[in-house]
Structures are given as structure tokens and as C-alpha cells.
Amino acid sequence: MDNYYFGRTGNNYGSYGSGSRRRRRRGPGPLLPLLLVLLLILLIAGVAFGVKKLRGAKPDKPESSVTETAEGAGGENPEETVPEVTKTALEEIMEKAERLSLMYDYDEAIRLISENEEASASEEGKAAVAKYEELKAACVRQDISQITHVFFHILIPEDSMDKVFDGDKEQRGYNLVMTTETEFRRILQSMYDRGFVLVRLHDMAYEVDDPENGGKKMVEGDIMLPEGKKGFVMSQDDVCYYEYMEDDGFANRLVIGEDGRVTTQRDYEDGTSDIGSYDLIPILNDFIDEHPDFSYRGAKAVIAVTGYNGVFGYRTDTAYEGVNPNIEEDKKKVTEIARALRADGWELASHSWGHRYYGQISMSDLQADNGKWQERVAPLIEGSDIIIYAFGDDVADWHPYKTENERFMLLWRSGFRYFCNVDSNRVWVQKGNDYLRQGRRNLDGQRMWQDLSTGSDHLSDLFDVKEVFDQGRPTPVE
Ligand SMILES: [Zn+2]
């Protein structure tokens, strides 16, 4: 098992400086009045258009309109929308069904059409149902013991290479454990081209009632994919945007975008900030929007968080009481973001509170650290049954977990059922009677450089390292 690092263990909260930093969006400045007038015109035109459409519509056919956010509002009026294309209810159902089928959810696609009188009676609807039945029948069950799991840290944005690799004391660590945006995009494309499909840990296995023993047991999931497709799990560690990473060009926090989905905000040294695709979550969302067949029934990745610097870039830990003036508001934001992530196919995980070695620290330290995560992080993200060991430091060797293992039992009693370490094997899955355990592969500078420079092969099932490795990195990566 690889020894792995990234986060800092806690205990230095001193430099929290966001209280004095004023944040503002990059706004249009003097252009604002002009834009508002333009917006008003668009709005009036939009209303007139909508009324005309309504007049033409038959009263028994509800019409829903697809709206698009108005451009040029400078972020000040995110609610303003302009109706653009009006689709019939039938068209909308057929489109939704098609998207579901692309994500391998044929049952749901068929149900959607069957439940609608107009759709199920139409030639188009009948043909689609027949097609989905055929596609469903051709699917094969995934062998969960063959499902690989890859992971990343915070991505290095393409336009931040100079800032991240500016020769400061953090540079070496970033180069080793992080993946650049360029590499991440290449990896997604390669894995997509090779037939990989994202699945959830909860798709691989899940708990069901076990009447024989009076409790619950873990059973293998039936992941059904077309022949040639390969399920895989993705995770991202340390999605806390730690203090030490501030002003190095990374995203600074997760936020909910205008479309209600989670995206990233980046803050600048001049006090401004903007929202964009600066990290894994929005980049993967965009990729799946474009390639829905990369996701099994909407599955995204697992997002793992510690607690010592707060969650998702918000300084919410108890240690920030009296330091972060917005702490209560920030806690609410974290909860909203956690809910939005889960609703959008993401899973959430503990990465310990203080980024601790759970296999090595004393039992009482383990208890205290997990206790802090349960008290200070779990309520904000509404719990989790997944643990992604910091440093990949598992609480046992490769043998199945035993009930005599008090570390395992402590975590299990805290509600964890999915346990992920770090392992350089292509695939490592262990399903116990009451847990699922999986090894994860780091797709970072260190791993890619090793394959590139020594000719070792840890990655060729996923991508060609020569094509993916970002030449903008400082080398050697050691
Ligand atoms: Zn970590």
C-alpha cells in the first residue's frame, strides 16, 4: 500500500485572514445601467413572446418552456431569465427519456414514456420504448471485483501553472500529489474513449435488511452496462481548499452556481473573485453534460473532506469561532452545497478530521479525531457512510476486516460501511458481510512521472501517460 500524503494535520489556525478581505464579483462597472436597460427590453420582449405562445396553446396541454439565463447581467441579477425556445411536453419527455437511456437507466426512460398518455400512444414513443427494451436486454452485469477506483486532489487550473509552480516551498508537494486541469481533461477523454463509465460506491454494493441475523448485510449491486463498458469509481480528496493553498492560483471554495449546481469560486489577491470551472466538480459536470454515457444513472465522484480547516473552503470548524465572522452563515452554505452535490449524483466521504494516520495513531487519538469529524463535519454535510483514509492509511492489512479489530469496529459503529485506502494495483475490491473495501489509484504527478521516467506500468489500462502528462510541470517530479 502506498504511503500517501497531502493535507496538513491541523493545529495552525492562526493565519485565517478572510475576515479582513473584502470580496466582490468582477462587475461591469459603468456598463451596469446600460445593461439593466437592455435587460428590461429583453424582459418585456420575453413576456410578450410568452403571452403569444400561451394564446396559441391548447388549454389541456401544459406547455413548459426552456429558459436560458440572460447574459451580461454581470452576476448582479442572476434571477432574470429570457424565454427562448418553447418545447412541447411530448418533446420534453422524449428528450428526458433519451438522456436517461444514454445513462443506462432504461427502466426509468421507459417508465417516463409509459406514464404519459400522449407519449406512449405516439409512434415516436413506441419506437423509443422498443429501442430501450432492446438496449436493456443487451446489458451485462458488471463484476464488482473488477471495478477500479481512481482519485485526485485539488486540480491545478490551466491558467495557474505559473502561480502553482512559482518555486515556493509548496511547489514540490503540489507537483507530486496534484493533477493539472490539462491532465485531468485528457484522462477523462481517454477513459471515456476506452469505455469507462462512472459508478457510485453505493452502486457497487449496498446494505439490505438481513432478517436471518436481525441486522443488515452488504450485497453486491447489479450494475448493468452494455458489453465492453467498464464501471469505475472516482474520488477527490481534501476538498477543503486549505489555508496553505490560498493565493496559489487554486479554486478557493465550492459555491452553488446560477443553474443550481455546484461549481467553484476563485479569489484574487486584489480582493476580487470569480466563479468558473476551476476544479474537478464543474469540469466533470461539464464533461458528463456533453457525454452522458460516461455516467451510470447520473453517478459522479466521491468528495472527501477533513474538518480542521473547515469544509469546501468555508472556515466552519469550531476553531474558527470568533475568527470567522460568517461562521454560522458558512455552515448553512456547506449544508446547501452538500445537498446540491448529493442531488446531482456525488457522494460525500470522511477523510478524517485532522488528516490523521488511522492505522498508526493511538486508539484514543483515533477516537478523538473521528469524534471531531462526527461532531463538527458530519452535521454540516448530513453524515456519511464512506471513509477515505488520509494517507491511504488503512486500519488493517489486506485480510478481511475482523470484528476483533477495534479500529475497524469504532469506524463501523460510527456508521462507515465503505472503506477506501490507496493501492497501486489496477483493482482491489473486498466485500465483507457488512462492508465494502476498495483500493484507490493516485493519478497524480508522482505516479505519472514514475511511469514516464522508469517505464513502470500502472496506468496503461486507463490512458497513455506520454499523451496525458502535462509538459508544463517542473521535472523531474520527485
Ligand atoms: Zn488527503
Cα–ligand 1 centroid distance for 292 (angstroms): 29
Cα–ligand 1 centroid distance for 348 (angstroms): 14
CATH of domain 142-468: 3.20.20.370
d(CA 330, CA 442) in angstroms, rounded, equals 31
Cα–ligand 1 centroid distance for 239 (angstroms): 9
Cα–ligand 1 centroid distance for 350 (angstroms): 10
Q: How much is the pLDDT for 424? A: 84
Question: What percentage of the chain has pLDDT greater than the value 70?
Answer: 82
Cα–ligand 1 centroid distance for 33 (angstroms): 47
pTM beyond 0.85, yes or no: no
Q: How much is the pLDDT for 7? A: 47
Q: How much is the pLDDT for 81? A: 58
Cα–ligand 1 centroid distance for 143 (angstroms): 29
Range with lowest mean pLDDT among 13-27, 138-152, 180-194: 13-27
pLDDT tens digit sequence for 146-161: 999 999 999 999 999 9
Strands (E) across 26-141 are located at 64-69, 81-87, 139-141
Cα–ligand 1 centroid distance for 430 (angstroms): 22
Q: How much is the pLDDT for 28? A: 40
Cα–ligand 1 centroid distance for 269 (angstroms): 26
Contact 357, 212 (CB under 8 A): no
Which of 122, 115, 300 is CA-nearest to residue 202? 300
Cα–ligand 1 centroid distance for 385 (angstroms): 18
Distances (CA, A) of 425 to 390, 416, 429, 440, 457: 18, 24, 10, 8, 10
Cα–ligand 1 centroid distance for 339 (angstroms): 22
Cα–ligand 1 centroid distance for 242 (angstroms): 11
Ligand 1 ion local residues (Cβ < 5 A): 6-7, 237-238, 390
Contact 198, 301 (CB under 8 A): yes
Cα–ligand 1 centroid distance for 210 (angstroms): 35
Cα–ligand 1 centroid distance for 356 (angstroms): 9
237, pLDDT greater than 50: yes
Helix (H) or strand (E) holding 46: helix 32-56
Cα–ligand 1 centroid distance for 421 (angstroms): 11
Cα–ligand 1 centroid distance for 359 (angstroms): 14
Q: How much is the pLDDT for 21? A: 35
Cα–ligand 1 centroid distance for 315 (angstroms): 17
Cα–ligand 1 centroid distance for 9 (angstroms): 10
Q: Average pLDDT of the chain?
A: 87
Cα–ligand 1 centroid distance for 94 (angstroms): 43
pLDDT tens digit sequence for 261-271: 999 999 999 99
In this structure, what DSSP letter does residue 374 have? I
Burial 89-122, CB ≥16 within 10 A → b, else e: ebebbbeebeebbebbbbeebbebbeebeebbeb
d(CA 205, CA 211) in angstroms, rounded, equals 18
323, pLDDT greater than 70: yes
pLDDT tens digit sequence for 377-429: 999 999 999 999 999 999 999 999 999 999 999 999 999 999 999 998 999 99
Which of 135, 198, 165 is CA-nearest to residue 346? 198
46, pLDDT greater than 50: no
Which of 226, 217, 37, 236 is CA-nearest to residue 151? 236
211, pLDDT greater than 60: yes
| Higher-scoring residue by pLDDT: 6, 348 | 348
Cα–ligand 1 centroid distance for 61 (angstroms): 53
Query: Could you give the angle at the alpha carbon of 235 between the alpha carbons of 229 and 239, nearest 5°?
Result: 155
Mean pLDDT computed over 128-157: 98
d(CA 115, CA 120) in angstroms, rounded, equals 7
C-alpha cell at 449: 512521472
